[in-house]
Amino acid sequence: MLNVNDTIQQTRENQKFVSIIIPTFNESMNITDLLNQIQSHIPIETNVEIIIVDDNSPDGTGHIVEKYIAEKMYQPNSVNDKETRTINHLNKNISIKVIHRREKAGLISALVNGIGLSRGQNVLIMDADFSHPPEVINKMITELKNQPNCIIIGSRYIRGGAIKGMPFKRFLLSVGANFIARHGLSLKNVYDPMSGFFAFPKHALQDVEFNTNGFKILLEILIKKKSNICVKEIPYTFKDRKHGQSKLDLPIILDYLKAVWKLYRYGRKSKKQDTQSEKRRSVRFISKAARFYTVGASGVVLNYLVSILLSNGFFGSLGYLQATAIGIAVSVTTNFLLNKFWTFEDKNVEAIRFIKQYGMFVGCSSLGILIQFLSIYFLSESGISYDISLLLGVTIASVSNFLFNKKLTFKENIWD
Quote the CA–CA distance of 338 and 328 in Å, as a whole number: 15
320-338 and 250-311 helices, crossing angle to 10°: 160
Q: Is 241 in the site for Mn ion (CB under 5 A)?
A: yes
Q: Can you list the positions of beta strands (E) in 209-365? A: 230-235, 237-239
Q: Which is nearer to ligand GDD, 176 or 359 (CB)?
A: 176
State the DSSP H helix or E strand holding residue 54, giving kind and residue range, or none if neither: strand 48-54
Q: Which is nearer to ligand GDD, 49 or 54 (CB)?
A: 54
Window contacting Mn ion (CB under 5 A); options: 26-34, 81-89, 239-247, 277-285: 239-247
Q: Which is nearer to ligand GDD, 195 or 375 (CB)?
A: 195
CB under 8 Å to 355, separation ≥6 — which residues?
none
- Residue 55 contact, options Mn ion, ligand GDD, none, Cβ 5-8 Å cut-off depending on partner type: ligand GDD
Question: Least Å distance between CB 252 and Mn ion?
Answer: 12
Quote the CA–CA distance of 373 and 96 in Å, as a whole number: 71
State the residues that interact with ligand GDD by CB under 6 A: 23-25, 27, 53-55, 104, 106-107, 110, 127-129, 131, 174, 194-196, 215, 241, 246-248
Question: Least Å distance between CB 216 and ligand GDD?
Answer: 6
CB under 8 Å to 253, separation ≥6 — which residues?
173
Quote the CA–CA distance of 199 and 359 in Å, as a whole number: 51
Question: Least Å distance between CB 233 and ligand GDD?
Answer: 14
- Residue 242 contact, options Mn ion, ligand GDD, none, Cβ 5-8 Å cut-off depending on partner type: none
- Of the candidates 212, 208, 202, the one whose C-alpha atom is nearest the C-alpha of residue 224 is 208
Q: Is 30 in the site for Mn ion (CB under 5 A)?
A: no
* Identified binder of Mn ion from the candidate list 129, 220, 233, 255, rule CB under 5 A: 129
226 neighbors 4 (Cβ within 8 angstroms): no
Instruction: Give the sign of the dihedral formed by CA 257, CA 263, CA 264, CA 269.
Output: positive
Q: Is 375 in the site for Mn ion (CB under 5 A)?
A: no
Beta carbons within 10 angstroms of residue 255's beta carbon = 19
Q: Is 28 in the site for Mn ion (CB under 5 A)?
A: no
- Residue 174 contact, options Mn ion, ligand GDD, none, Cβ 5-8 Å cut-off depending on partner type: ligand GDD
Q: Which is nearer to ligand GDD, 126 or 338 (CB)?
A: 126
Quote the CA–CA distance of 247 and 245 in Å, as a whole number: 6
Quote the CA–CA distance of 125 and 20 in Å, as a whole number: 6
Q: Is 26 in the site for Mn ion (CB under 5 A)?
A: no
Exposed / middle / buried, residue 306 (Cβ in 10 Å: 0-12, 13-18, 19+)? buried
Window contacting Mn ion (CB under 5 A); options: 60-68, 128-136, 316-324, 405-413: 128-136
- Residue 203 contact, options ligand GDD, Mn ion, none, Cβ 5-8 Å cut-off depending on partner type: none
Closest residue to ligand GDD in the complex (CB): 196
Q: Is 109 in the site for Mn ion (CB under 5 A)?
A: no
Q: Which is nearer to ligand GDD, 245 or 382 (CB)?
A: 245
Q: Which is nearer to ligand GDD, 251 or 316 (CB)?
A: 251
Binding residues for Mn ion, rule: CB under 5 A, are 129, 131, 241
